[in-house]
Each structure stands twice: as structure tokens, then as C-alpha cells.
């Protein structure tokens, strides 16, 4: 991302944790992850979808949008990701994030949620591809 | 004996047992006794000492405990509590370079294009 506004929402450590969680999730699943924390402009779902469409490769990307003020969480998966990551699995991750957020743990919820999404999105290894 | 009689007997028995128990504390006089002659005279306690023991020390303890309880979150720098308004700037991790401006320029077609196979979930807390 571009310029980081130091000293706002997250401490450098927390920012590092989220960045690392994104990198880990991308390594595990081979898909792109992106996390938006902030106020949504207008309706949240269309806004989240617009953010998702703005990403470089939307069909291979997962966008997590957290609006702490409105207490809304949106997760958008691109068409390619959607094949490996079913909505039920996304729901599970959303549930775990939701409970962390409700306890006030914003960063923990985001990092754990990303890990869960990545684990579920990981394509199973082909064991008998040629036989 | 009929059911009614049994109930009456049971109720009067209960009253008989409970009345003295209820009356005893009212009737009892506090026990007073002069301290034995052999005891040394207690030093007079000043009002300041009372204040110190009954107010200052407990309040001080409460303050210390409250401080200790809030130290971990202060160290971690937690700024978010559920239900509190979020006054921070938007952050987009792993987003495009221009951030939200890029999203503003995204045309509707691009958003609609992915509509069909897109998935996801929503939640509130």
C-alpha cells in the first residue's frame, strides 16, 4: 500500500502482524489477500465489492472489509477463489473473526480469520494425478 | 385426618418454630462489658488515623489494582473497544497504491463483471 498513516488505528507492531498474516495467507493458499479497515462509503456490500474489483487480480483475490464503527464484516472472494473456497467456509472464518471483534480484539480477529480463509482456500494436493 | 387439617397443622408448626427465631435478634440486647482492669488503657485514636485506615489505604489499594489491571492493554496500545466510535483513518492492507481513490475510479462494469461467480460472507458483531 502507499503511504502509511503512522499512529492512527494500529501500532507498528499490529500493522506488521496484519501484513505478515496477509503474506502467510498468500503463501499458504497461492491467492491474493487484502484487508480494508475503515468506514464504508454507502452500503457495505456493494462498497466491499467495489474495493474487491479495484484489486489487481480480482478473480484471484480475497477482500476482507472490517468496519469497526458500524461493526460490519464483509468478505468478498473472486470467481477463481470461490471455486476452492466455498461460502460455508468463508462463513466459518467470519464467525471466528466476529467473536474476536466482539471481544475487542481487532488485530487478532483479522490475523486468525486470514489464516482460516487461507487454510480452506488451499487446494488439496493431487496425489494420483498421473495414475 | 383430612388434607385441610394436615395443611393447617403444618402451617401452625412452621409458625411456631419460626417466630422465636425471628424475635430473638430483636429481643437480644447487645453484650456490654467493661474491659478488665488488668488491660492497659488503649491509646486514643485520632480522626486522622481513622481516615488513613478506613479511606486512604483502601482507596490507594483500589487505585493500584485498577492500574495493574489496565497495564497490559496500555502496553499493547489497544485502542479499539466494541461499541466505541472508530475515529481513525481508513487502512487498506494489500490494496492498490492509490487506496480508496482507486476504488472511486473503478467503473461499475468491472464490479458487475465479477458478479456471477463471486462469493463471500457478511457478518455483524
Q: Cβ of A90 and B121 within 8 Å? A: yes
Task: Considering only residues A9 and B51, tell me which one the structure prediction assigns the higher pLDDT.
Answer: B51
From chain B, the residues in CB contact with A106 under 8 A are: 80
Instruction: Report the predicted TM-score, pTM, of the whole model to 2 decimal places.
Output: 0.62
* Residue A73: closest CA among A109, A120, A19: A109
Which pLDDT does position A115 carry in this prediction? 93
**Mean of per-residue pLDDT scores for chain B:** 81
B43 touches chain A (CB under 8 A): no
Which pLDDT does position A8 carry in this prediction? 61
Which pLDDT does position A65 carry in this prediction? 93
First to last CA, chain B: 63
Of B78, B82, B89, the CB nearest to A5: B89
> pLDDT (tens digit, 0 to 9) for every residue of chain A, 131 residues total?
334 444 467 888 888 999 999 999 999 988 999 999 988 888 888 889 888 888 888 889 999 999 988 889 999 999 888 888 888 999 999 999 999 988 888 899 999 999 999 998 887 766 776 65
Which pLDDT does position B61 carry in this prediction? 96
Q: Cβ of A5 and B91 within 8 Å? A: yes
**Pairing state of beta strands A61-67 and B119-124?**
unpaired
Which pLDDT does position A5 carry in this prediction? 42
Contact, A68 vs A106, CB < 8 A? yes
Chain B stretch 77-96, residues whose beta carbon is closer than 8 A to a beta carbon of chain A: 77-82, 85-86, 88-96
DSSP B52: I
Which pLDDT does position B102 carry in this prediction? 76
Q: How many CA atoms lie within 13 A of B54 on its CB side?
A: 7
Q: Cβ of B95 and A34 within 8 Å? A: yes
Residue B53 confidence (pLDDT) above 50 = yes
Which pLDDT does position A40 carry in this prediction? 85
From chain A, the residues in CB contact with B123 under 8 A are: 72-73, 94-95, 97-98
Least CA distance to A98: which residue of chain B? Answer: B125
Residue B107 confidence (pLDDT) above 90 = no
Which pLDDT does position A77 carry in this prediction? 92
Conformational region of residue B10, where left means phi above 0, alpha means psi within -120 to 50, and beta covers everything else: alpha
The C-alpha torsion from B107 through B113 and B119 to B120, rounded to 10°, is 0
How many angstroms separate the CA of residue B106 from the nearest CA in chain A?
6
From chain B, the residues in CB contact with A74 under 8 A are: 120-122
Contact, A29 vs A121, CB < 8 A? yes
* B106 contact partners, CB below 8 Å, separation of at least 6: A50, A53, A54
Q: Which residue has the cell 486514643?
A: B44
Q: List, as one string, the DSSP characters of A17-82.
A: HHHHHHHHHHHHHSSEEEEEES--SSSHHHHHHHHHHHSSSGGGEEEEEEETTTTEEEEEE-HHHH
Backbone φ, ψ for residue A86 (5° rounding): -75, 160
Task: Considering only residues B95 and B11, tell me which one the structure prediction assigns the higher pLDDT.
Answer: B11
* Residue B123: closest CA among A111, A82, A109: A109
Backbone φ, ψ for residue A72 (5° rounding): -125, 140
The pLDDT tens digits for A58-73 are 889 999 999 988 889 9
C-alpha to C-alpha distance for B113 and B117, rounded to whole angstroms: 9
Amino acid at each position: 500500500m502507499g503511504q502509511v498513516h503512522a499512529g492512527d488505528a494500529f501500532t507498528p507492531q499490529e500493522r506488521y502482524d496484519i501484513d505478515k498474516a496477509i503474506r502467510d495467507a498468500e503463501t499458504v493458499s497461492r491467492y491474493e489477500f487484502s484487508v480494508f479497515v475503515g468506514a464504508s462509503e454507502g452500503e457495505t456490500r456493494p462498497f466491499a465489492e467495489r474495493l474487491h474489483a479495484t484489486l489487481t487480480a480480482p478473480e484471484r483475490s480475497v477482500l476482507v472489509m472490517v468496519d469497526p464503527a458500524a461493526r460490519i464484516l464483509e468478505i468478498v472472494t473472486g470467481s477463481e477463489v470461490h471455486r476452492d473456497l466455498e461460502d460455508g467456509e468463508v462463513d466459518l472464518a467470519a464467525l471466528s473473526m466476529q467473536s474476536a471483534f466482539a471481544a475487542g480484539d481487532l488485530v487478532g480477529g483479522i490475523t486468525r480469520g486470514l489464516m482460516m480463509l487461507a487454510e480452506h482456500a488451499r487446494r488439496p494436493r493431487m496425489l494420483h494425478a498421473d495414475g | 385426618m383430612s388434607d385441610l387439617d394436615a395443611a393447617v397443622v403444618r402451617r401452625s408448626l412452621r409458625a411456631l418454630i419460626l417466630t422465636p427465631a425471628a424475635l430473638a435478634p430483636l429481643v437480644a440486647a447487645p453484650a456490654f462489658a467493661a474491659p478488665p482492669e488488668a488491660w492497659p488503657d488503649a491509646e486514643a485514636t485520632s480522626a486522622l488515623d481513622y481516615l488513613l485506615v478506613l479511606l486512604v489505604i483502601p482507596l490507594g489499594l483500589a487505585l493500584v489494582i485498577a492500574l495493574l489491571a489496565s497495564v497490559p492493554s496500555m502496553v499493547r496500545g489497544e485502542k479499539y473497544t466494541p461499541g466505541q466510535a472508530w475515529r481513525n483513518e481508513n487502512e487498506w492492507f494489500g490494496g492498490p497504491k492509490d487506496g480508496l481513490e482507486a476504488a472511486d475510479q473503478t467503473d461499475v462494469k468491472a464490479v458487475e463483471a465479477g458478479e456471477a461467480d463471486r462469493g463471500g460472507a457478511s457478518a455483524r458483531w
